Amino acid sequence: MRATIPQILEMARAGEKLPMLTAYDYPTARLLDGAGIPLILVGDSLGQVVLGYPSTLPVSMNEMITHASAVVRGTEQALVIGDMPFMSYQTSEADGLRNAGRFLKEAGCQAIKLEGGRQVAPLVHQLVGYGIPVMGHIGLTPQSIHQLGGNRLQGRTAEQARELLADARALEAAGAFSVVLELVPAQVSRLISEELEIPTIGIGAGPYCDGQVLVINDLLGMTPGFNPKFLKRYAELGEVIQGAVKSYAEEVRSGAFPDREHSHWMSADEEALLLDS
């Protein structure tokens, strides 16, 4: 049975930390689901991680729907959250409602995530009113990368931290079921987590959040050269994959693959008939 929003909230209320991961495709989603990850985010990090874009900005709604559908097909237990891409909700509340609805209607997601604080609170209120669960996202909001001037720690000063707290409160008051805190000092995420009833999910936000999220390709060591302080790699799959591919290429070149064991053979009788004719 798939996790529900009330169950996720109950887990957080009971003090259970929530592990969340991104996924973008069917096979990865199946593995995460089988490992018992309760929250899977089809992040717009899809842009850099899977599609090779320089940022999240070029990602389209149709691309998100294609990948979110695959993740939903690969899961039975996890709650799947579709990430609203750049300009899918900033243009108007009507666009926001229509595009959020697509995640539930076309992809089969159970919730959506969008970036922003007080500014998006009216839209969050509308979405929740129409039965679309919303996860907020404040701190470093990658869709505002040009405005922010890079992947910089947010909420460094007391004044900036108070702004973030006001954003978090506005999202909660608007009905968001949870909020991502990205790249903020641990003291700030601790304060916000203590102040909010809804669970906070941190990335680069220290240990005090109610849950944590990482990009699956980063965690698995498949994004060479990407080494932010907050990232812990739990495997080096990039090296494993390259090693396997190099061995395959060598064996094809040398003729060692395919060997007898990995080939299909006709019966000796049929072979004799074939060669006689």
Residues that bind ligand KIV (CB under 6 A): 22, 41, 43-45, 83, 137, 180, 182, 203, 213, 215
Which residue is nearest to ligand KIV, using beta carbons? 43
93-102 and 61-73 helices, crossing angle to 10°: 30
Whole-number Å distance between alpha carbons of 151 and 148: 8
CB 1 to ligand KIV: min, Å = 25
- Asked if 90 and 112 touch (Cβ cutoff 8 Å), the reply is no
Nearest residue (CB) to ligand KIV, 41 versus 184: 41
Nearest residue (CB) to ligand KIV, 86 versus 245: 86
CB 209 to ligand KIV: min, Å = 12
Catalytic residues: 182
Whole-number Å distance between alpha carbons of 188 and 209: 10
**Partner residues linked to 82 by β-bridges:** 42, 112
Residue that the structure tokens 């691309």 belong to: 63
Nearest residue (CB) to ligand KIV, 234 versus 248: 234
Nearest residue (CB) to ligand KIV, 11 versus 23: 23
Whole-number Å distance between alpha carbons of 42 and 21: 9
**What is the dihedral angle through the alpha carbons of 155, 157, 162, 166, rounded to the nearest 10 degrees?**
-30
CB 134 to ligand KIV: min, Å = 14
Nearest residue (CB) to ligand KIV, 138 versus 267: 138
- Asked if 165 and 191 touch (Cβ cutoff 8 Å), the reply is yes
CB 256 to ligand KIV: min, Å = 41
Question: Three-state DSSP class for 208?
Answer: coil
217: nearest Cα among 49, 103, 101: 49
CB 105 to ligand KIV: min, Å = 21
